[in-house]
């Protein structure tokens, strides 16, 4: 049976680290997405992303190549229909997905007879997430600043990401599992996904 694990959550929640750890363990194959952003020195084309030009990406959009795509300040990001279908035919897969694209991706997978499990990753307990949204957002803010992965993360971009994170509660009904990825408990979070 074909199946896919979709990992979603706000920026700074740990979804990328969990996705990569699952792949490194050999338990799941990562579905490689396309992007137009500049490649980091440590990245390899076709491994972390398929790095393409903006012009090529926009042609692919017009030809209905992507299941989902979004434009961010760093560039376009998207997942091709072919990548999902090809990957699930080979093995159990994992895919990191932005919350805004979750419903669209789930719908595509179900139409392809792919069993979907969706995990929402949050950087705190669910009770704190629901009862103290300001504290939840402060935890995310600290994580985004500490990881420093994007040198172009200015105050406006940080505010935009936090605003998006505040809307995460709207996708709770679409999620099968909630992973409380608190600081210092990464292995516990990973085990919940295994």
Number of domains in the chain: 1
CATH of the domain at 92: 3.40.50.300
Residues 180, 34: Cα–Cα separation, whole Å: 28
Strand partners, 75: 72
- Structure confidence by residue, pLDDT tens digits, 51-97: 999 999 999 999 999 999 999 888 999 999 999 999 999 989 999 99
Residues 108, 52: Cα–Cα separation, whole Å: 23
pLDDT at 80: 97
- Structure confidence by residue, pLDDT tens digits, 18-42: 999 999 999 899 999 999 999 999 9
Domain that holds residue 44: 3-193
Are β-strands 75-80 and 66-72 bridged in parallel, bridged antiparallel, or unpaired? antiparallel
Q: Which tokens hold the place of 169?
A: 């509660």
């Amino acid at each position: 049976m074909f199946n896919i694990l979709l990992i979603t959550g706000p920026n700074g929640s740990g979804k990328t680290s969990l996705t990569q750890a699952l792949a490194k363990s050999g338990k799941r194959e990562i579905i490689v997405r396309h992007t137009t952003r500049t490649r980091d020195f440590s990245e390899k084309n076709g491994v972390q992303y398929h790095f393409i030009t903006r012009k090529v990406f926009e042609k692919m959009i017009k030809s209905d190549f992507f299941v989902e795509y979004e434009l961010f300040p760093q560039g376009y990001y998207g997942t091709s229909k072919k990548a999902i279908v090809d990957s699930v035919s080979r093995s159990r897969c994992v895919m990191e997905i932005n919350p805004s694209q979750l419903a669209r991706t789930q719908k595509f997978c179900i139409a392809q007879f792919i069993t979907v499990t969706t995990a929402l990753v949050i950087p705190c307990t669910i009770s704190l997430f629901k009862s103290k949204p300001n504290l939840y957002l402060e935890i995310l803010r600290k994580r985004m600043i500490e990881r420093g992965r994007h040198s172009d993360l200015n105050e406006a971009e940080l505010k935009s990401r936090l605003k998006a994170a505040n809307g995460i509660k709207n996708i709770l009904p679409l999620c099968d599992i909630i992973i409380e990825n608190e600081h210092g408990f990464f292995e516990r979070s990973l085990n919940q996904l295994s």
